A = this chain, B = another copy of it.
Amino acid sequence: MAVTIRELSKRCGLSISTVSKALNGYTDISEATREAVTQAAKEIGYYPNSHARALKTKRSYNLGVLFVDDRQSGLTHAFFSFVLESFKKEAERNGYDITFISHNMGESTMTYLEHCHYREVDGVCIACINFLEPEIAQLVNSELPIVTIDHLFNNRTCIQSNNIVGIQMLVEHVYNRGHRKVAYIHGPKSAVTDTRLGSFYRTANALQLEIPDEYIEECEYNEPSSVYRATRRLLALKNRPTCIFVSDDYAALGAYEAVSDMGLTIPGDISVVGYDGIPMMQLMKPRLTTIRQDTGRIGAEAARKLVALIESPKTAIPEIMVIPCTLLEGETVRALTPPADPGL
């Protein structure tokens, strides 16, 4: 139904080859005919059929996106949807569509890599996944251009949010407001979690904050109910913390609920900070103090780097790009006057 290059060539009175070359910037075509061809192409709305082109050139102008979080929230993931949106926008700006990579297509099951080959995607962006799965390893060890988000692989480009500084800023922030008893409900084991937890301990250490083991709880990312339970446990401690770090903004809703259910208030009885900076939590009462990850840049840079790897494989070298984040000061951290630090 769509118009093909044959019709265009008929219309121009030129051979198919000439038309193709005119459109693809070959130099052995006179300016006059190039003009005529592009003009005619515009008039009849000609676009080269992507499949025919992909078949010939091995380039599909499709980027694979692989995102599978533990909770299977998929596209509804509060944080990731922002990253994906900007990734998509930047990809489109470069002429790429995106394809979600999964391993259950119809009857058959294909591995991620097989799906990538099947659709012949030009590159893949991997995010928020269980990076230890063997299928991921198969993909990462393939010849495909790959950009990962927040997880570093050998010799692969990675876009990282600056989790070290992010957590550091948060710890310092609550410290400066007088908090000395700080708990952390962190996510399940992963590169991101490790980094954040490491930075948490390190910063606490530098500030001579003692973190008892009972202040460290584990939860699922993006899962308010698991944070709810962890929060209740923390609030039930004899030596109750004055401030709780929560794995992520969305899950922090669980903390809000737990505090409220126990008849307490934020920040009156307990301070809470999140991580991500999704818009929704800035509309809460009280507004959440958190770290805003620059999802716009993370997604866009991921797309940009991936396109660079695809289009200029010689010059584009694997690199680690760290995206800065910012502290969003909300209303969930109470200022204390710590008796132990009269000198401040």
Chain A residues with CB under 8 Å of chain B are 1-2, 45, 47-52, 54-55, 60, 73-76, 78, 81-82, 84-85, 88-89, 92-100, 102, 104-108, 110-111, 114, 117-120, 142-143, 224, 250, 253-254, 256-257, 260, 280, 283-285
Contact = CB atoms under 8 A, between A and B. Distances in A.
B47 A55 contact: no
A99 B102 contact: no
A102 B98 CA distance: 11
Contacts of A85: 73-76
A114 B44 CA distance: 11
Nearest to A295: B76
Nearest to A278: B76
A114 B45 contact: yes
B110 A47 contact: yes
Contact of A76 (B81, B117, B142): B81
Nearest to A53: B51
A1 B143 contact: yes
Contacts of A94: 106
Contacts of A280: 78, 250, 253, 280
A95 B88 contact: no
B102 A100 contact: no
A227 to B, nearest CB: 11
A72 B102 CA distance: 26
Contact of A52 (B55, B95, B260): B55
Contacts of A114: 2, 45, 47
11 contacts: A2-B117, A49-B120, A51-B52, A51-B55, A74-B88, A92-B106, A95-B105, A95-B107, A97-B119, A224-B283, A257-B283
Nearest to A77: B81
A74 to B, nearest CB: 5
Contacts of A2: 114, 117-118, 120
Nearest to A82: B76
A310 to B, nearest CB: 13
A73 to B, nearest CB: 8
Please indicate which of the listed interface residues A96, A100, A110 has the most CB atoms of chain B within 10 Å of its own CB.
Answer: A100
B95 A51 contact: no
B254 A283 contact: yes
Contacts of A47: 108, 110, 114, 117-118
